[in-house]
Amino acid sequence: MEMKRYLIGKFIFRPSGLNMKRTILIVALASAMLGSGFVSTQAVDDVTAVDILKHLQETYRSAKDATIEFTQTVKFTLTNAVQTFHGTLFMKKPNYYRFENEEQTIVTNGRIVWSYSAANHQVVLDDYRDDPHAFTPDRFLLGLPRDYYSALVGKEKLQGKEMYVLRLVPKEEQAFVRSLKLWVDPEQWVARKVIVIDVNETETTYMLARITFNTGLGNSLFEFSAPKGTEVVDLRKQK
């Protein structure tokens, strides 16, 4: 049976327990810290990239859970095709995630991963494995300063507010992502817009419509019960 992949932004959930090689969950930047790696010393309004990253870090550290509503637009350079998706991501520390959009629902409680496709009437189950080489939101966010160079580009108006704009490029030449651009809200210190360009010159834009923190998301949200009649593919039984 061909192994399926489930794309959440740049975050690929595979049935093999959230194995996300060479890919990242940009949406999580809305609740993220970026750390204090190599950054430009350029200042805007006496604020530097270091200052912005520290504020983002504190936002992440103080968040026990987050709910993020976003729109993802993908522009494929080779075909000039454009795809737009709307989704919601629920996150709870340490390893609880639930992603929902028009096509799929992907859930993990830190032990099991459910990947449900309404169109295919199928749910794939597998063990969640804490692979040290895999990308999870925490690993991406905590490792970002180690893996990317960061610079403060300036300020731009977005959603009626002045935002700080950061540009990040990977230190690794063979990295899947070529560059990231973040629009950071100085009132809440979250990323409101993210643009990702990958090695295929595909441009993916995330617009964060609504972000809420520490609402007390219950553990039951991170369990999944398939609708009646759904085909169940349990990869745990094949091991």
- The residues spanned by each domain of the chain are 6-234
Q: Is 29 exposed, middle or buried (0-12, 13-18, 19+ CB in 10 A)?
A: buried
Each of the 239 residues of the chain gets a pLDDT tens digit; together they read 333 333 333 333 433 333 333 233 433 333 333 333 334 445 566 788 778 877 877 887 788 998 989 898 999 988 999 999 898 989 898 889 898 888 889 999 989 999 999 999 999 999 887 655 444 555 555 455 567 788 999 999 998 999 999 998 888 888 888 888 989 999 888 888 989 898 889 998 989 888 889 999 999 999 999 999 999 999 987 76
pLDDT at residue number 239: 63
| DSSP state for residue 64 in the 8-state scheme | S
Counting other chains too, the contacts that 226-232 makes at CB distance below 8 Å and 24 or more residues apart are 226/114, 226/116, 226/123, 227/121, 229/121, 230/116, 230/121, 230/122, 230/123, 231/120, 231/121, 231/122, 231/123, 232/122, 232/123, 232/125
> Superfamily assignment of 6-234 in CATH?
Lipoprotein localisation LolA/LolB/LppX (2.50.20.10)
Task: Tell me how crowded residue 96 is: count the other CB atoms within 10 A of its CB.
Answer: 19
| Cβ neighbours around 102 below 10 Å, total | 9
Contact 23, 9 (CB under 8 A): no
Distance from C-alpha of 130 to C-alpha of 17, rounded to nearest angstrom:
8
**Residue with the two structure tokens 């989704």:** 87
Among all chains, which residue has been given the structure tokens 């509503």? 69
Pairing of strands 122-127, 231-234: parallel
What's at 82, amino acid-wise? V
> In this structure, is the dihedral angle defined by the CA atoms of residues 179, 134, 15 and 98, taken in order, positive or negative?
negative
Residue 199: C-alpha distances to residues 24, 49, 141, 173, 204 (Å): 14, 25, 21, 10, 12
How far is 36 from 25, CA to CA, in rounded Å?
A: 19
